[in-house]
Structures are given as C-alpha cells and as structure tokens.
C-alpha cells in the first residue's frame, strides 16, 4: 500500500468566509503551476481540504515544490481506506510497519470531520493504537513526543492515513490579494521584495528598466531568470521590459550630477505608475531598505515618492542586508543576482549622489525637459514577457 495522494491543509483560508471559493480555486491553480512538470497529477477540491492525486508520480518528487506554494499550511502523503474500522486497522498497521525502526515510539492522532462515523476520536485512537501495538512487539507508546505520529482523518469521502506531515509555506495563494507592479532590477533586493509580496497573495507584474547599449543582453536575461525563478512560488508573472536609455541620457545632460540618482528613481516610479494604471495594478513594490544606499534615506524616498500617490510598498524597509541575503539564498535568487552583468543604475550612478535631496530642486531641474513625453514613449515601446514561458503556459491551460 503506497501513498497515492497528498492531503493539503490550509490555514488562513478557512477564515476568509465568502471569498473561500476564489481562494481555493487560486490555490489549486498555484499547485498545478508549481507541479507543471508532472502532467499526470490532478487536484480534487473538497470543503476544507484539497487532495493531490499522484497518479503514479512518487511523493518525494513533488514534496519540495509543494513546500514552496503559498497558501498551504501543511501537507501529508496519505493512503485512503473506506469507513470500515477493520480496513483502517489493517492500513494503519502496514503504514507503521513501513515507517518503523527498532526502538521507535508511536501514537495515533485521529481527527473526525464526519461526525456520523460510529466511533469518536478517542475510540478511533484506542481501536487503531491497540491493534498496532498487539501486532508489533517492540513498539511502545509516547503521546508527547512520538517518533511515529500516525494521522487518521475520518471524512465523508473516506479515511486518510499517514505517518508524515510537512509544513507548507503558509501565506496566501497567488492572486488572492490583487495585483501590484514590482520594480525588478538585477540586484539582490528586489527579487526578495517580490517574494514577500507573493507570500501575501499579491499577483506580481515585474517592470525592468533596460538601457542598451550601456546594459547588455545578458543583464536583461538575468532579470528574466530572476522573474522566472519567482514563478516557482506558484505564480504566473508578466515581465515588462522598458527601454530607458534615452531618458537616462537626458537626465545626465540636464540634471546636476548629484541629483541624477534622484531623478532616475523618480522617472522609474512615474513610469511604473503609468504601467500600473494600464494594467489595473493597485500598488508598486520596490526592494528599498532604509539607509542601505544614498537613494534610500527617508529624504530620498520622499523626493522620489512625490511623483505618485499610488501606495509604494517596501517589504524590505526594515531589513538588514545580511537578512535579505539569507532570504535570497533560501529562495534561490541570490546566485542569479550576483552574476556580474550590470544594470542601468550601476552604470549611471554618480560618485556622490545627494543623500538628502530637496524636492523643490529636483522638480526645478526636471522642469526644463519634456520628460512626460519621453516617458509615454518608453512605455509605448516596452516589451512584455509571460513567465513561465508561453509554451509551458499553453500546456498548463489544458490541465485546468
């Protein structure tokens, strides 16, 4: 008897009342997307649980991927029996035997969502526990800290048993909290910011400002790879690549050197806001962290933020660089981010950017050029990619 399905438990979802159906549908989509390499897999929805039918795919092959999908509290590979106590006992014994090593302790943790079932949870624990103990000589019980915790869940559709339980990524399923635009550079911080927003169920569209020939094709590919990496968390991501060269050159010509950084950021934010409006986004996300670099003082943030009244979310604002790097490693973006292909900011960064820029000054410097028109044109010319790439998405559409 092998585990042939996975029982998914969702925590925060259960509190969401009437949005529940939408949440569950999105979670299903996230799961299928993250397991897209295994087309045999199907997902069954039920009231307070979800089941993944492995259809021959080994549990070990999908375990790591599943633990990255937001919206899952915990999951267990399970076997199913009918609501028959003899059948349950036999399956329980076989499972414990398979997981047993000499000296192990065990307990049974029954849960009963079908209150019609003939035994209550204590009676189930006792019936199954005593059957297993009778048939396994060296096994002893430890209810506090057992080596083997045999989970038995009695539901209307059958009984599900497992000796394993893994923590999920928690958070909310992708797309349940609305859409936001992520300013994605090739650096370490912004992909981490994106990850935290995905965790809260935000659908992300990434925006990258690209300045050929100052920045290379490889720098662009790096950003595509970063965005693609973020799709592992159960999300589809659109990536907008915006040509930024002309604007950056104009800024260099027009704005005094110590203010070019402030202006560059203002243009980025203003363009991101235009794209957000077109795309129906509700907020803009950046990888800024307070005090990390010159453009990330409160004075700077205020001068930059002035171009829009759209909420600008900065999930990393209180984090230290080392903490951010830790997360970047954990989510697999770090090694892509540290590839040496420079982005537009590195190249155009002045030697000593103003750390306390004055809003009135930067506004005056910018007033001599029609940046508005240049920005409109750049947004017109942007290129949009769908990640993971279209081919995979087409295959995936057939599964839903």
184 marked as binding residue: yes
Q: Decide which of ligand ATP, Mg ion, none touches 77; Cβ closer than 5 to 8 Å per partner kind.
A: none
Residue 263 near ligand ATP by CB under 6 A: no
Residue 304 near ligand ATP by CB under 6 A: no
131 marked as binding residue: no
Stretch near ligand ATP under the rule CB under 6 A, chosen from 2-10, 75-83, 142-150, 339-347: 339-347
| Side-chain half-sphere CA neighbours of 276 within 13 A | 24
Strand partners, 258: none
Q: By rule CB under 6 A, what string of x and - marks binding of each residue 30-49 to ligand ATP?
A: --------------------
Residue 178 gets the label, from left (phi > 0), alpha (psi -120 to 50) or beta, of left
Taking CB under 6 A as the criterion, the residue among 125, 231, 263, 295 binding ligand ATP is 295
- Whole-number Å distance between alpha carbons of 62 and 84: 30
Stretch near Mg ion under the rule CB under 5 A, chosen from 63-71, 81-89, 183-191, 290-298: 183-191
- Whole-number Å distance between alpha carbons of 355 and 343: 21
Q: Which is nearer to ligand ATP, 30 or 211 (CB)?
A: 211
H/E stretch holding 283 reads: strand 283-285
375, 369 contact by CB (below 8 A):
no
Q: Which is nearer to Mg ion, 89 or 208 (CB)?
A: 208
Q: By rule CB under 5 A, what string of x and - marks binding of each residue 187-216 to Mg ion?
A: x-----------------------------
- Whole-number Å distance between alpha carbons of 256 and 336: 34
34, 131 contact by CB (below 8 A):
no
| Side-chain half-sphere CA neighbours of 71 within 13 A | 31
Q: Decide which of Mg ion, ligand ATP, none touches 198; Cβ closer than 5 to 8 Å per partner kind.
A: none
Q: Say whether 161 sits in a helix, a strand or coil.
A: strand
139 marked as binding residue: no
Residue 286 near Mg ion by CB under 5 A: no
Q: Decide which of Mg ion, ligand ATP, none touches 209; Cβ closer than 5 to 8 Å per partner kind.
A: ligand ATP
Residue 288 near ligand ATP by CB under 6 A: yes
Determine the residue with CB nearest ligand ATP: 187
Stretch near ligand ATP under the rule CB under 6 A, chosen from 42-50, 103-111, 251-259, 289-297: 289-297
Tell how strand 42-45 and strand 72-81 pair up.
Answer: unpaired
Position of tokens 């059957």?
A: 131
Residue 185 near Mg ion by CB under 5 A: yes
H helix intervals, 162-259: 189-199, 217-230, 245-254
- Whole-number Å distance between alpha carbons of 75 and 73: 7
Q: By rule CB under 6 A, what string of x and - marks binding of each residue 180-219 to ligand ATP?
A: ---xxx-xxxx----------------xxx----------
Q: Please give the span between the terminal C-alpha atoms of the chain, in angstroms, as a whole number.
A: 29
> Which residues would be at the binding site for ligand ATP (CB under 6 A)?
183-185, 187-190, 207-209, 268, 286-288, 292-293, 295-296, 343-345
Residues that bind Mg ion (CB under 5 A): 185, 187
């Amino acid at each position: 008897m092998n585990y042939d399905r996975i029982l998914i438990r969702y925590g925060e979802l259960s509190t969401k009342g009437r949005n529940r159906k939408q949440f569950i549908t999105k979670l299903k989509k996230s799961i299928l997307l993250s397991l897209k390499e295994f087309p045999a897999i199907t997902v069954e929805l039920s009231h307070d649980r979800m089941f993944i039918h492995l259809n021959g795919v080994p549990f070990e092959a999908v375990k790591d991927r599943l633990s990255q999908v937001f919206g899952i509290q915990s999951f267990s590979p399970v076997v199913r029996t009918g609501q028959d106590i003899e059948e349950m006992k036999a399956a329980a014994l076989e499972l414990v035997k398979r997981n047993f090593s000499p000296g192990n302790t065990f307990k049974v943790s029954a849960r009963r969502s079908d209150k019609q079932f003939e035994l209550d949870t204590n009676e189930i624990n006792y019936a199954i526990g005593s059957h297993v103990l009778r048939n396994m000589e060296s096994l002893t019980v430890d209810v506090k800290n057992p080596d083997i915790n045999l989970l038995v869940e009695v539901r209307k559709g059958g009984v599900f048993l497992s000796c394993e339980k893994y923590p999920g990524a928690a958070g909310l399923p992708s797309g349940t909290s609305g859409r936001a635009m992520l300013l994605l550079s090739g650096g370490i911080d912004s992909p981490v910011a994106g990850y935290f927003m995905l965790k809260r169920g935000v659908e992300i569209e990434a925006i990258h400002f690209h300045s050929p020939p100052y920045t290379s094709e490889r720098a662009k590919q790096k950003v595509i790879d970063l965005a693609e990496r973020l799709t592992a968390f159960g999300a589809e991501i659109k990536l907008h690549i915006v040509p930024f060269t002309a604007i950056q050159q104009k800024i260099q010509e027009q704005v005094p050197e110590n203010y070019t950084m402030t202006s560059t950021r203002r243009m980025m934010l203003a363009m991101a806001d235009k794209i957000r409006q077109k795309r129906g986004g509700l907020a803009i996300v950046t990888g800024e962290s307070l005090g990390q670099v010159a453009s990330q003082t409160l004075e700077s943030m205020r001068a930059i933020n002035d171009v829009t009244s759209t909420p600008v979310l900065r999930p990393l604002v209180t984090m230290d660089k080392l903490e951010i790097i830790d997360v970047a490693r954990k989510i697999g973006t770090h090694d892509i981010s540290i590839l040496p292909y420079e982005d537009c900011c590195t190249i155009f960064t002045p030697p000593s950017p103003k750390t306390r820029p004055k809003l009135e000054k930067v506004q005056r410097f910018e007033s001599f050029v029609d940046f508005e028109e240049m920005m409109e044109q750049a947004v017109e010319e942007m290129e949009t990619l769908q990640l993971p790439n279209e081919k995979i998405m087409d295959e995936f559409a057939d599964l839903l």
